[in-house]
Structures are given as C-alpha cells and as structure tokens.
A = this chain, B = another copy of it.
Amino acid sequence: MTDSIQQADLQIKWQRIRQAMQQAHADGCLLTVDVNLYYVTGTIFSGYVYFPAEGEPHFFIKRPVGIEGERIHYIRKPEQMPEIFASAGLPMPRKLLLEGDELTYNEYIRLLGLFSPAETGNATSMLRALRAVKTPWEIDQIRQAARAHEATYRTIPECFRPGMTDLQLQYEIEKRMRENGSFGLFRAFGANMDIFMGSILAGDNAETPSAFDFALGGAGMHPSVPLGANGTLLKEGTAVMVDMAGNYTAYMTDMTRVYSVGKLSETAYKAHQTALTIQAEIMQAARPGVCCADVYAIAARIAAEENLSGYFMGTAQQAKFVGHGVGIQINELPVFTPRSKEVLEPGMVFALEPKFVIPGTGAVGIENTFLVTADGIEKITQFEEEIIALPG
C-alpha cells in the first residue's frame, strides 16, 4: 500500500501500539475510524484493523476491492470476524480496546457483542496519546505542510481588493490553497467542530461567540454553519485574522496571521505585540517535562500584566485554552488549558495561538505550529509575524 519509508514508519507505530496495550494489560484493540486506519496503515478503507498485544495486525476489509497483502481478510460484515480469528489461530481477546470516543453507541455495541470480552478499554484514549508524539516521518510530513501553508499565506495580499468582504477574501484564499495542494477536507476530533477549510474573522464579527470548540467564533454565512466570516465589509481600520487550514499533507499545520485594512487602533497593535511576547516567553520556557497548564499560565499572566485579560481569547465568550496538538486532526493532544495535566515530550507537535479580540477592530495575535525537541521547542511555521498591511 505504501513505500518503504512509510512502511518503516508503520513499524514504529505498530511497536508503540503493542507496548501501550501491554501496559494497559489489553489483549487486543480493534480500530475502524478513518483517522486511526490512516495512522496505522497509511491508507483509508472501510473495515477494521485488529492489533493483538503481541504479533502482527490483521486487516478486515469491506471496501475497496483489490487490496493485497499478508493477513488481509475480505469481509461483508463485522460478524464474520470471529470465525476468521478462529481459522487464523488468533485468540479472542480477554480485554479488548474499542474506539469509545469515536464509534457510535450502536457500532460499539455491535462490535462488543461479537467479541464478548471480559473487559474493555478505550482505544481512542490510547491512540490519541500515541498520536500526540509524532514519528520522524510524520514530522517530515508536517514540515512539508508548513512550506505549502506559508506559500499560500504569501499570496494573501494579492487576494485583497478594497471594498471586498471577508467572505470574498476567503474565497480567493481557498482557491490558492487548493492550487497549492490543500486537500480541502478538514479533520477534527469530536463533535462541535464544524468548520470549512479554516476561518477568517474581520471587525466586530470576531466578537460573535461560537457554538464550537475553536479558539474564536464569528457568525458564519448562515445559522446552520455558525462560524467564521459572515460578509463583513473590510473597511478602513479593520483587523483581518486569517486562520486557514494547513491541510497540505495528511498531517496539518496550524498558523494564524493578522492583516490590516489601513491603520488599526492602538489597542490592537499593543495587543498584537503582547501576543508576540507571550509566544516569545513560551518559546523560552517550553521544553520536555513542562506541564501544559504552566504554558497556559504564562499566557494568562502576560495578558493580565498588560491589562488585556478582558480581550484574551474572546470578549463575551473566552476560550479557556491557548494551544492544542495538531496532526491528522486539527485538535490532537496535548491541550493547553488552565488545568491540563499533560507534560511536553519530544516529538509532540502543537499550535500555540495567543489571540485578543479588540471591539471595533477585530482579532489580533499569532498562531504557529511548534515541535517539541530534546531541549526546547522549534517553530515549524515560518512567516512574517507583525500585522501585515493589505494594499490600499
């Protein structure tokens, strides 16, 4: 299915999964959710992968036809799996992990009934913890995504024409994203994450509180898609926050930049500099062993010192996080909240996004994607960080 470099990468992942299962005293885990299948096979199919705690995985495929390889079993329905286990000499698991935060209730119950394990555990938690620490191949994919992401952002000034709306600007950017290789599809974990290719927030629309779990809101085009740009005119004095997806490989980057129409309010420039200060202090402090709650605390402290707490991550509704893991999905682990217990480890990749919403102006701040290295963090997304004036 995949080339030899990626095959070697899969072996690393499979070994980590086996180790995690042994630590959880699990005998096997059954995966079927698209992002988990991609993670463990480098492809997406309709079916299941079963990992025993020791030995090689087995693949149970419904669609597409024509996949060849070892331990591949074509099935019409999951009820055929137990008899294939028996004929393949694969023991039925005593403790089975299933994707409890991703499978629907009825799918979970159906699979549970087929295996009737004595004990169950959560494959979603295990996979999300493993996926938080990227492999060298994954980090390379993220670096490639960053280069395309930056290339698209370089074209943003040419997308702008005076008198246009936030939506019109977004359509121009989307077109350039696609021409630069964006997959379009935007993958997120969990409900309450309805988004299309990213978000542009201009002017007071940045204050509109969101139904979703993203950092900021915006009214969106319609009550059925209540997020992001809403047709706001990009008039003089408007801050335009561009947070469009970095989905140029299967592993995303996340990057936000602020553009201005004419000159912004002084508070906006001050808040933007504060966001850059937050980023700089966190870049000094963050390294393996640092707790994600302490990273959040740095951001909140600096916002308070600058008397900007009321604008930090929103106004009427404020997001209580300042960063999040990124990878196959936009919201992977770790999460940087006031109470995060997660600790930074080498190989983690996360987006840090200190942002402020300034009434009458819009949203300012910064977002970059970082890699946790052996002794610090490395900024992967490289692009001008000051507020960029759009051509008059």
Q: Which residues of A contact B (CB under 8 A)?
A: 1-2, 32-34, 38, 42-46, 63-66, 98, 100-109, 122, 124, 167, 170-171, 174-175, 178-179, 181, 183-185, 191-192, 194-197, 208-213, 217, 221-226, 249-250, 316-317, 328
Residues of B within 8 A of A194 (CB): 34, 44, 185
- Please list the 6 inter-chain residue pairs (A to B) with the smallest Cβ-Cβ separation, ordered nearest first: A184-B196, A64-B209, A224-B250, A105-B108, A171-B178, A185-B196
The answer to whether B223 touches A191, judged by C-beta atoms less than 8 angstroms apart, is: no
Residue ID in chain B nearest A228 by CB atoms: B184
Some 12 contacts from A to B, beta carbons below 8 A apart, are A34-B191, A44-B224, A64-B210, A64-B211, A65-B209, A66-B209, A101-B104, A104-B104, A104-B105, A174-B184, A175-B175, A184-B225
Residues of B within 8 A of A109 (CB): 105
Cα distance A196–B174 in the bound complex, in angstroms: 13
Residues of B within 8 A of A63 (CB): 192, 209-212, 317
Residues of B within 8 A of A46 (CB): 192, 211-213
Q: Report A97 CB to chain B, min CB distance, Å.
A: 12
Residues of B within 8 A of A249 (CB): 222
The answer to whether A38 touches B185, judged by C-beta atoms less than 8 angstroms apart, is: no
Q: Which of B34, B42, B65 contacts A317 (CB 8 A)?
A: B65
Residues of B within 8 A of A179 (CB): 171
How many of these chains are in the complex?
2
Cα distance A21–B328 in the bound complex, in angstroms: 40
Q: Report A88 CB to chain B, min CB distance, Å.
A: 23
The answer to whether A184 touches B197, judged by C-beta atoms less than 8 angstroms apart, is: yes
Q: Which of B101, B191, B217, B225 contacts A33 (CB 8 A)?
A: B191
Residues of B within 8 A of A250 (CB): 222-224
Cα distance A208–B43 in the bound complex, in angstroms: 14
Cα distance A225–B184 in the bound complex, in angstroms: 9
Residues of B within 8 A of A221 (CB): 181, 183
Cα distance A58–B191 in the bound complex, in angstroms: 21
Q: Report A339 CB to chain B, min CB distance, Å.
A: 14
Residues of B within 8 A of A44 (CB): 194, 211, 223-226
Cα distance A217–B64 in the bound complex, in angstroms: 9
Residues of B within 8 A of A170 (CB): 178
Cα distance A171–B177 in the bound complex, in angstroms: 10
Residues of B within 8 A of A225 (CB): 44, 183-185
Given A98-B105, A108-B105, A316-B65, decide whether A43 and B223 contact each other with a Cβ distance below 8 A. Answer: yes
